[in-house]
Amino acid sequence: MAEIQFEGEQQYQRPAPAEKKSLFVRLVLATGIVSTDKQAQYVLLGIAIFFIALAFAIPLFTRVRSPALTPAEEARALTAPGMEPATR
């Protein structure tokens, strides 16, 4: 077989790996609100902080308060059916 000779030094370079972006970053970028990955990440961080704050705020503002019971209603609620409340 014939010998293979190369002129000069061969340099092999790997192609640069494709930049992987998360689905959410791609969605924010697709809206056109922001133009860079870093800006999209800040938007997502802001959205996450908003929803965490909302998760803590909802229970604070939606507490159901029962109306105050009169002493007679309270005594009826605490006794079993057919039993008289204890007198002091």
pLDDT digits over 22-57, tens only? Answer: 999 999 999 999 999 999 999 999 999 999 999 999
Q: What angle do CA 61, 52, 57 make, to 5 degrees?
A: 10
Determine the pLDDT at residue 25. Answer: 94
Which of the two residues, 62 and 7, has the higher pLDDT score? 62
Taking 80 as the threshold, does the pLDDT of residue 85 lie above it?
Answer: no
Cα(30)–Cα(25) distance, integer angstroms:
8
> 16: which 2 tokens?
């640069």
Which one-letter amino acid corresponds to residue 77? A
State how far Cα 44 lies from the chain centre.
Answer: 10
